[in-house]
Amino acid sequence: MSLLQRTLKLVLALTIATWIAIVCQLSYATSAGVIAILSVLDTRRSTFKIAKQRLLSTILAFGIAGILFTLFGYHLWVLGLYMTFFVPLSYHWGLETGLAPITVLVLHIYAEKNLSLGLFINEIALLLIGAGIALILNLYMPSKQKLILRYIDVVENELREILRRLATLLRSGDGSNDGQLIAHLELTLSQALEAVYIESNNQLFKSTNYQVHYFEMRREQEKILKNMSESIRKLHLQSQENHILADLFEATAEQISLENPAFDLLTDIASLLHHFRERALPETREEFESRALLFQLLGDLERFIQLKVDFYSSYQLSE
């Protein structure tokens, strides 16, 4: 939600809720506006959740206050005793969001020194008006679907660029790699996940789990790429396997898109593993270390591809 949208919603929440309370001739009408302001949150789901919590919090608070005021009267120390019970119970039952606004309603009872049904109805009406207006205003939430689709394209392009860069480094035998591309991908994924989580929390009935899982899968792949980068940094010896593995990195880059299941790549990796095992044993320490790094890179690439295959398979089966 942009600053302009938030400002407009808060202004409307305050004025509409207060106006309705005045029209209904409720006492302390501005409290409805305050509750409405406090109930306008960033997503639809969080707004519905907090409205439910505050309704339960009201029941709890009025129950405690009603018992204590009836037993001991309307004294300041009784108000303190009410807080002594209300605060820990609110946190225990996860209703702490109602502490401030609902205590304001209890203070009305304390000020009126009255436990009449009419006053209770007045306070409940203030809560329902404030929370209700917030819910209505938050029914409009700008969709982030276009932004999320752009992030999918950006992430896939960055993954391709990184894989091709790693392939180039494998062929050249130069282990230098500043990691800037991977760092930028990590930032892009963080921004994409933030957007997709907000979109998910704005959907009350339509599920966006697919997109959440997609970006989480890509984040796991990014972590593997970071390990690959570290391995290639230590790799300086040229060999035939370097070029074969580089070709496999490029083939992976070509099949990185969301629509491609990449099943064939796992077969290619199995063939390359067989090739590694058939090769003569390394003769020098440098060759042995290089071969070990190549095996590690191949294993990391297999895990990288398997994440995509598992993701693709799980959603193909669900369909």
pLDDT in tens, 3-45: 777 788 888 989 999 999 999 999 999 999 988 888 877 676 6
Residue whose C-alpha is closest to residue 222's, from 201, 192, 248: 192
Which phi and psi (to 5°) does residue 194 adopt?
-60, -45
Q: What is the pLDDT of residues 189-220, one digit of tens each?
A: 999 998 888 777 666 555 557 888 889 999 99
What angle (nearest 5°) sits at the alpha carbon of residue 120, between those of residues 136 and 123?
35
List C-alpha distances in Å: 193 to 30, 156, 227. 38, 14, 22
When the pLDDT of each residue in the chain is averaged and rounded to a whole number, the result is: 82
CA distance 174 to 73: 82
The percent of residues in the chain predicted with pLDDT above 90, rounded, is 22
Instruction: Give the model confidence (pLDDT) of 124-176 as tens digits.
Output: 999 999 988 888 887 777 677 788 889 999 999 999 899 888 888 877 755 55
Q: What local confidence, expressed as pLDDT, does residue 318 receive? A: 46
**pTM score > 0.75 for this model?**
no
